[in-house]
Chains A and B, each alone.
Chain A
Amino acid sequence: MRRFSWFNATSLTLGFAFLYLPMLILVIYSFNESRLVTVWAGFSTKWYGELLGNELFLDAAWVTLKVAVISSTIATVLGTMAAYVLVRSGRFSGRTLFSGMIYAPLVMPEVITGLSLLLLFIGIGLDRGVLTIVLAHTTFSMCFVSVVVSSRLISFDRSLEEAALDLGCTPWEAFRLVTLPIIAPAVISGWLLAFTLSLDDLVIASFTAGPSATTLPMRIWSSVRLGVSPEINALSTLLIGIVTLGVISASLVSKRNLMRQQQDEQTAARTA
């Protein structure tokens, strides 16, 4: 055992406090009896009950979920395709420009992305609503997916695809039966990334949403401007819970995979 050091303990405590104290306070106050956020008046779960009855929040949550699932799915398909073309097509004139253009939205200020999309939607006369948010989220999360997938594709052994072709696959079959299963983890992380980005996006959604559709971050933001209510705290606590659950289950899944693989390898070593 390493010797216990005051310095280490202090930095650890400070670091974690910095990260988690705000969240902890939020969680604690979500169980506050009082309507006043800063005054503790005893334990209660009544704000959770009120939340479930709040049509506005439930609607917004539903919109957010819909937008996130649809946009991240489309973004994953498009982003994977873009990554595949960029990594596979070798050198063609203007390749650098093309790949630069795919990655540019990564560094583009969200305000600008949002504004330009808004102008576009107005220009082509598209009514703002769920559809426009989906389109906007697809646009900006697609390049994240393509970054994640292309970094996996670069290390992908091309001769695997050649072997598939050699054994009679059409190029599409080779992609479906060989490439896709192998890069699947990257595609899934891409999807998760796009999903999270869409879930917590406020800026772009504010630009592209219309009166008919409001996402959860927008709803929270607008109600906080009227003053923080314990209901918001309850909602945020729920969100924290969901995210924590997601992270834990994702790491459990990957840990199980790792363990299974190690087990396989051990079996292999024993019987070989």
Chain B
Amino acid sequence: MADAARGKPMPHQGIFEPWTDPVAKPLIQFQNVTKRFGDFTAIDDLSIDIFEKEFFALLGPSGCGKTTLMRMLAGFEAPTTGTILLAGDDISPIPPNKRAVNMMFQSYALFPHLSVYDNIAFGLKREGMPKLDIHARVEEMLRLTRLERFARRKPHQISGGQRQRVALARSLAKAPKLLLLDEPLGALDKKLRQDTQFELMDIQEKTGTTFVIVTHDQEEAMTVASRVAVMDEGKLIQVSTPDVLYEDPRSVYVADFIGDVNLIEGKAKPSGDGIDLHWAEGQPVLHCKTAKPFGEGQTCHLAIRPEKIAIHSQEPEARNKLCGKILDIAYLGNISTYHVELPSGHVIKAQSANTRRIARRTFTWDDTVWLSWTDTAGVALER
């Protein structure tokens, strides 16, 4: 998650939060939408509001219904029950070609008989745009996606990542009000992906387009999105801003899905401003601040991020501390993740920045170390 905090331009935070404004009109509204294929339910009674100028990310495991959701917005599938409103109007009677929506397909769906240039120009030509304007616009898109050299090629003559960029350029070309991107950057290398993410955010800032983007890369979701929706089996599990999703997940599923996390299961005991967690024989009780009401003896999961756990060679002064042996060290360049095995057999992950060269690392395999964290570092979850 090293890049998560970095990428986001600040104006997104604090200022742009239409979902907290009770009078703001959503651009897209899903109202109790269910989509069934035969007797399989792909989207299950889903309701959500997406606002204008949002960068809305859909995150979820394969087959959870992300593409289906987008296809309903683009007009290729109709909801089995429920309604979808676009700017307040039911969109079900509007055919795909009349919707001010463009979609980038997960399979790219490039026209194999047309060159890269003509693929990108396709939508503009249908619009009846003057030739010169089309040319200028296509050139701009080619530049943006760094495909200038490949303009004359056919889709089968370029690489997978290049194809993905053509698909992206083609959907961007018409500058629609609503843009649906189904895994737009998955095939790109990290550097190009980050650059493209910033380009997308830039386009969004300039044109005010509303983006709905599917991604399997949670780092990407956190970088670009104004809000992230975590889905599972056709349902929305949590919809929040990336920071809330990361810092304050509402369920173990979300905590586990987004980023790396230690999950400690135990029995809660209300104590002061939070709970005490009794979780293993012979291990110290852990304290966690929480506003949620836990009953005495209720099952509780403490979710704590590895980077919020400090690692020491001597016993520290701290509310929560555990002692264990280093089992494994994952060196990731800028940070290292230490897997620390406790006497109870649990393995806790702790992360620290590699401020010194690797040869001068403080800890090594089999060292006995102390882990500590504050009582606000973790989140207590009921399920």
A14 adjacent to chain B (CB < 8 Å): no
Q: Is the CB of B174 within 8 A of A264?
A: no
B 85-113 binary contact with A (CB < 8 Å = 1; else 0) = 00000000001110001110101011111
Q: Is the CB of B159 within 8 A of A168?
A: no
Partner of B123, one of A168, A265, A271: A168
Q: How far is the CB of A89 from chain B (nearest CB, A)?
A: 16
Q: Is the CB of A167 within 8 A of B126?
A: yes
B157 adjacent to chain A (CB < 8 Å): yes
Q: Which residues of B contact A170 (CB under 8 A)?
A: 97
Q: How far is the CB of B192 from chain A (nearest CB, A)?
A: 15
Report the separation of the CA atoms of residues A91 and B75 in the bound assembly, to the nearest whole angstrom.
20
A127 adjacent to chain B (CB < 8 Å): no
A 108-141 binary contact with B (CB < 8 Å = 1; else 0) = 0000000000000000000000000000000000
Q: How far is the CB of A39 from chain B (nearest CB, A)?
A: 58
Closest Cβ neighbor of B106 among chain A residues: A159
Q: Is the CB of A181 within 8 A of B109?
A: no
Per the 8 Å Cβ criterion, residues 170-220 of B in contact with A are: 170, 174
Q: How far is the CB of B75 from chain A (nearest CB, A)?
A: 8
Tally of chain A residues near chain B (CB < 8 A): 24
Instruction: Pick the interface stretch among B17-25, B148-156, B292-300.
Output: B148-156
Closest Cβ neighbor of A181 among chain B residues: B113
Report the separation of the CA atoms of residues A265 and B155 in the bound assembly, to the nearest whole angstrom.
10
Per the 8 Å Cβ criterion, residues 148-185 of A in contact with B are: 157, 159-160, 162-171, 173, 177-178, 181-182
Q: Is the CB of A167 within 8 A of B174?
A: yes
Q: Is the CB of B157 within 8 A of A268?
A: yes
Partner of A268, one of B101, B112, B158: B158
Partner of B105, one of A159, A178, A182, A268: A159
Closest Cβ neighbor of A269 among chain B residues: B157
B331 adjacent to chain A (CB < 8 Å): no
A267 adjacent to chain B (CB < 8 Å): yes
Tally of chain B residues near chain A (CB < 8 A): 30
B 309-340 binary contact with A (CB < 8 Å = 1; else 0) = 00000000000000000000000000000000
Q: Is the CB of B105 within 8 A of A162?
A: yes
Per the 8 Å Cβ criterion, residues 36-72 of A in contact with B are: none
Report the separation of the CA atoms of residues A72 and B147 in the bound assembly, to the nearest whole angstrom.
43
A1 adjacent to chain B (CB < 8 Å): no
B 277-306 binary contact with A (CB < 8 Å = 1; else 0) = 000000000000000000000000000000
Closest Cβ neighbor of A170 among chain B residues: B97
Q: Is the CB of B157 within 8 A of A166?
A: no
Q: Is the CB of B102 within 8 A of A264?
A: no
Q: Is the CB of A271 within 8 A of B96?
A: no
Q: How far is the CB of A169 from chain B (nearest CB, A)?
A: 6
Closest Cβ neighbor of B113 among chain A residues: A181
B257 adjacent to chain A (CB < 8 Å): no
Q: Which residues of B contact A271 (CB under 8 A)?
A: 149
A9 adjacent to chain B (CB < 8 Å): no
Partner of A160, one of B76, B101, B109, B158: B109
A272 adjacent to chain B (CB < 8 Å): yes
A 258-272 binary contact with B (CB < 8 Å = 1; else 0) = 000000110110011
Q: Is the CB of B126 within 8 A of A168?
A: yes
Q: A159-B105, A159-B109, A178-B111 are in contact. Are A166 and B158 (CB under 8 A)?
A: no
Q: Is the CB of B107 within 8 A of A159?
A: yes
Q: Which residues of B contact A264 (CB under 8 A)?
A: 153-154, 157
Report the separation of the CA atoms of residues A167 and B110 in the bound assembly, to the nearest whole angstrom.
12
Partner of B170, one of A159, A167, A272: A167
Q: Is the CB of B111 within 8 A of A169?
A: no
Q: Which residues of B contact A272 (CB under 8 A)?
A: 158-159, 162
Q: Is the CB of B111 within 8 A of A165?
A: no
B127 adjacent to chain A (CB < 8 Å): yes
Report the separation of the CA atoms of residues A182 and B113 in the bound assembly, to the nearest whole angstrom.
7
B74 adjacent to chain A (CB < 8 Å): yes
Q: Is the CB of B109 within 8 A of A165?
A: no
Q: How far is the CB of A263 from chain B (nearest CB, A)?
A: 10
Q: Is the CB of B109 within 8 A of A265?
A: no
Q: Is the CB of B97 within 8 A of A169?
A: yes
Q: Which of A163, A164, A169 has the most CB of B within 10 A?
A: A163
Q: Which residues of A contact B110 (CB under 8 A)?
A: 163
Partner of B96, one of A160, A166, A267, A268: A166
Q: Which residues of A contact B96 (CB under 8 A)?
A: 162, 165-166
Report the separation of the CA atoms of residues A173 and B123 in the bound assembly, to the nearest whole angstrom.
12
Partner of A265, one of B156, B162, B174: B156
Q: Which residues of B contact A171 (CB under 8 A)?
A: 97
Q: How far is the CB of B222 from chain A (nearest CB, A)?
A: 28
Q: How far is the CB of B171 from chain A (nearest CB, A)?
A: 8
Q: Which residues of B contact A162 (CB under 8 A)?
A: 74, 76, 96, 105, 109
Q: Which residues of A contact B154 (CB under 8 A)?
A: 264
Q: A residues within 8 Å of B by Cβ?
A: 157, 159-160, 162-171, 173, 177-178, 181-182, 264-265, 267-268, 271-272
List, sorted by A's number, 17 A–B pairs whose CB atoms are closer than 8 Å.
A160-B109, A162-B74, A162-B105, A163-B105, A164-B122, A166-B74, A166-B97, A167-B97, A167-B102, A167-B123, A167-B126, A168-B97, A168-B126, A177-B122, A265-B156, A267-B157, A271-B149
Q: Beyond A271-B149, A272-B162: 10 further Cβ-contacts under 8 Å?
A: A157-B109, A160-B112, A162-B109, A167-B97, A168-B97, A168-B126, A168-B127, A182-B111, A264-B154, A268-B157
Q: B residues within 8 Å of A by Cβ?
A: 74-76, 95-97, 101-103, 105, 107, 109-113, 122-123, 126-127, 149, 153-154, 156-159, 162, 170, 174
